[in-house]
Structure 1
Amino acid sequence: MRRALRQRIEIGAMLAPSVLLLGVFVLAPLCIVAAYSFALRDPYGAVLPGFTLRNYADLFQSVYLLVFVNSFELAASTTLLCLMIGYPVAYFIAFKAGRFAPALLLLLLIPFWINFLIRISAWVVLLGRGGLINQGLVRTGLIDAPVGMLGSYGATLVGMVYAFLPLTVFPIYAALQPIDRRLVEAGADLGAGPAETFLRITLPLSLPGVLAAALFVFVPSMGVFAIPVLLGGGKDIILGNLIVQLFLEFRNIPLGAAVSMLLLAFAGIGILLYMRALRRVEAMK
């Protein structure tokens, strides 16, 4: 009993700093935002103590519902494109790259060493009328004059895919790497072609990584702020832009806090759906 008690005390002592940091820097700010979401507001933007559900009720207005639709559409499009591009990349690194796989993974990691805003600002230069993309298209004769790419939905989507593509490749690669290659060989020996082997063996075994990648991309895509502003010109307002505007421009902190809590709820729902889908995939094995 003494030994078990001493082990519990040691474990508690080791976990205490992490728990304290999480409580101070994560849980406490989250509770403050949650409290603000139910607070009142005077005509000048000051937060008043009180309790009201009107901040959440206001989110059902058509103007805010349109923001939710835009956010979901952009996040879904980003997730789909990242999966379509990221899965073949992860498959190639896991099965075909051989000894070059670590170098390719390192190349995917290098962009994370550069500031996020700097990387997105580089796309402003590339997509500009005098940028490399327009110059290349003009020189190859595909277009007669530079076209305006910035300030469009396509430019925003390009930036989103660029930012979140590594978050797609890594979990899929982690799911593909442990697959026993003898299973693929056995499928070929039993008469299955490459496509059937992929659909019956490789894809089902890699589904946990695909689900994780979808979660890692979809949830942050709902609340991203810099990319729609820098590349899309802020034309299509999504949840991240809405939160910033409510806090800084409209001085409506309670409503901005309510939108933040709703975004957190979306993230929680996404995690729950991921865990449920993961259990089903594991049960199918």
Structure 2
Amino acid sequence: MLRSILLLLLFCGLLSIHVSAQEHSVTNMEETGIWNGLYIKARFSKHFGYYGEHHYRTRNSLDDVNSYVGRPRQIYNRAGLNIFFNDYFEAVIGPALVVNFSPDPYSDEYEPYVLEHRIWHQWLLKMPMMGRVKMYHQFRVEHRWKKDNDIGAEFEFTNRFRYKLFAYIPINKPTITKNTLYFSPSVEIFMHSGESIVYNPFEDFRTYNGFGYVLSNKVTLFAGHMWTLGQKSSGYEYKSSNIFRFNVFIGLDTRKNQQQLPKINLGY
């Protein structure tokens, strides 16, 4: 377990160095942005609950790729039935609705926004504690009906397959409790398939690292930086992005006499 943690941290560090070298060669940084997210997790019974994600995402202006703001990118809503099998395994299934805004708000060639519909399911495996560190494996599949913002574009059906490895490491306390500051490194790979996916089955790779603070038994704050690398439709070109993310996690438990920490990815 300790070896896995060290490898994860080493990989994130080496990746940052690799990014700097690649930015000036075959990989172009095409986007910066800020993603604001609200995560809600409510426990109704021993085995069932609600899971929701609600995001507002911006991206850089057209004339400055390093501006991070300037255009709306997405409004992202994901919901689902959370199923708790035991302390180490849970799943979610449900719908998602995404609003994709025009890449050029001033052009008549694009619709101002288009809707994207999804059905998604997820499995989360929690590893036993190793010292003060907890690691997770997250598997997610998304069935997507989406189209470009081009006028007259048609919907296309694709499937996306995601795997994420992440950890939670408390800093000022042995375990994550109220008023705990913690560090969370993560890496995630995205693959996709469909009629329109020919030369680019590798959709995205993300490394997302940040710090969280447990404000109360129901609220956790989190802020971090995400770097992405994606394969373009040609298959031999790649694009990258730099995103700052700010999240609020809300955990609720309607069962009697329960005062639990928010369990948005937290397994303590």
**TM-score bracket, shorter-length normalisation:** under 0.3
Greater Rg by CA: 1
Higher percent of residues as helix: 1
Bigger relative contact order (CA 8 A; separation at least 6): 1
Instruction: Tell me the TM-score normalized by structure 2.
Output: 0.27
Instruction: Tell me the TM-score normalized by structure 1.
Output: 0.26
